[in-house]
Structure 1
Amino acid sequence: MLAHMGYGTRSEIRRIVKQGAVKIGDVSVKDSGLQVDPELDMILVDGERVVYREFIYLMLNKPQGVVSATEDSRDRTVLDLLADEYGHFEPFPVGRLDKDTEGLLLLTNDGKLAHNLLSPRKHVPKTYFAEVEGAVGAADIAAFEEGVVLDDGYRTMPAKLVVLKEGDPMARTVAKIELTIMEGKFHQVKRMFQAVGKKVVYLKRISMGPLLLDEHLAEGQYRELTEDELELLKNHSG
């Protein structure tokens, strides 16, 4: 349990147990292999109570230039943005955002929740804000409602396109939109606009299921989910 909570390697923990630094209640532990119940036993290390938890759930506002991976030989990953205290939980990103895409990314070590959120059968909606070259209007809304055919022949599920600003190619102003999709194909938002002859120049994910990106999180910042947010997420994906 102490190794899982980041108090050291097994050999380091054996050493601090021998030094008498670990107690259950008022009793010093002599055996580092002692079985404990984290829910019932009050465990202290150097007088500080150990608060056990199995899973962590972090909301990250992913910046551009960082890849959605646990490791990468060339680029910084989203895990490089986290404090060391989370490393021993071995979190991973739930799904992917392109290197140049910003916004909401969930990081966790809860494999069951991640699977449910990503399962095509669950149809968890994801909403993006985008800036698009070209005039976006009613024809695009209708096309996306029908589902568009991507460059590999795949027809997307119906998607909801909201035009915030139409854009004017003559005036060189971009369109601003919000798009909600029910799946997560590779580069899907960019490829959907490509299918209707337009180009995404900026992309940011703003929600995943009931989870909304915290507007107070600057790019690269993160925080743990609140109990209410986690409950909503589990109910939505269960």
Structure 2
Amino acid sequence: MTPRQTRQSGRQAAPGVSLNRALSKLGLCSRTQAEVLIAEGRVRVGGKVVRNAALRVDLDRDRIVVDDRPVVAERKVYLMLNKPRGLVTTRDDPQQRDTVYACLEGLDLPFVSPIGRLDKASEGLLLMTNDTRFANRLMDPASHLPKTYHVQIGTVPDAAMLDKFRAGVTVDGETLSASSIELLRSGGRTAWLEIVLDEGRNRHIRRLLAAHGVEVLRLIRIAIGRLPLGDLAKGAARHLTPEELALLTG
């Protein structure tokens, strides 16, 4: 082994996961909230108080206790939510804005995290779970899981403009394109498009259309893979059925 290889292997992380991530994976809280619990000395590993959030732990072997209560893995939960406009897709927002977790208030749930994001002004289908392996599988770019959006724009595009949208653009070094873009309907000064993405970059659709001087008025995600939003009420959440889970993973 060369000195360089030795140094590289020396930088590899120890087995297991960090303590703050472990508490999140176990469904107790977010990583940010876990860091607070750890800093306050409320977390014990193997009977000892730990104040290092980066400590590596083995979820199968280490006994983790918070506030004198053992932390055990929660049941796996898979939710679909019809996200309203005006909510941010995060648990801990430094700007104290309303979050999608407001839609889960009153439900008997372990801590769940969003699978991917919808920006504050966007709405529609959002998945949430405490199953990190499932979430990582859906978010893996190699999965090419298509996401379908209905997008209202502030212009009525002709065929030439639609072809420009379909050709894609490069913005700040990022290539932004769509699997398909179709005109659904138009009227007056606005139109609705159906846009399908098999990858999702930050504000992908908004940046793609803005590059052509087109304003997005509404953006609604109506499907993820073969799973449709359906008639779920805005702001409502429900558990996915086994059949719906199969639509995402089959």
Q: TM-score scaled to structure 1, two decimals?
A: 0.69
**Deviation of 1:53 (Å):** 6.8
Partners of 2:27 and 2:141 lie apart in 1 by: 33
**Deviation of 1:158 (Å):** 4.0
Q: How many residues align?
A: 180
Letter in 2 for 1:164: L
Alignment correspondent of 1:47: none
* 1:221 corresponds to which of 208, 233, 236: 236
For residues 49-107 of structure 1, the C-alpha deviation after alignment (integer angstroms, 9 at most, x for no partner) is xxx972111110001111101222411211221144444x2100111101111100001
Q: Using a 3 Å threshold, how does the CA distance of structure 1 residues 188 and 174 change in structure 2: closer, same or farther?
A: same
Residue 187 of structure 1 pairs with residue 238 of structure 2: no
**Deviation of 1:116 (Å):** 1.6
Alignment correspondent of 1:54: 75
Equivalent positions of 1:16-55 (< 5 A) are 54-55=75-76
Conserved 8 A contact 1:127-1:180: yes
What's the secondary structure of 1:201's corresponding residue? strand
Partners of 1:85 and 1:198 lie apart in 2 by: 40
Q: TM-score scaled to structure 2, two decimals?
A: 0.66
Alignment correspondent of 2:90: 69
Point out where structure 1 has 5 or more consecutive residues left out of the alignment: 7-51
Conserved 8 A contact 2:27-2:112: no
Indicate the structure (1 or 2) with the bigger Cα radius of gyration: 1
Partners of 1:116 and 1:139 lie apart in 2 by: 37
Alignment correspondent of 1:153: 173
Letter in 2 for 1:156: L
The percentage of counterpart residues that share the same residue type is 38
Q: For the aligned residues, what is the CA RMSD?
A: 2.2
Equivalent positions of 1:96-135 (< 5 A) are 96-135=117-156
Q: Using a 3 Å threshold, how does the CA distance of structure 1 residues 94 and 5 change in structure 2: closer, same or farther?
A: closer
Partners of 1:140 and 1:124 lie apart in 2 by: 27
Letter in 1 for 2:240: L
Partners of 1:5 and 1:159 lie apart in 2 by: 35
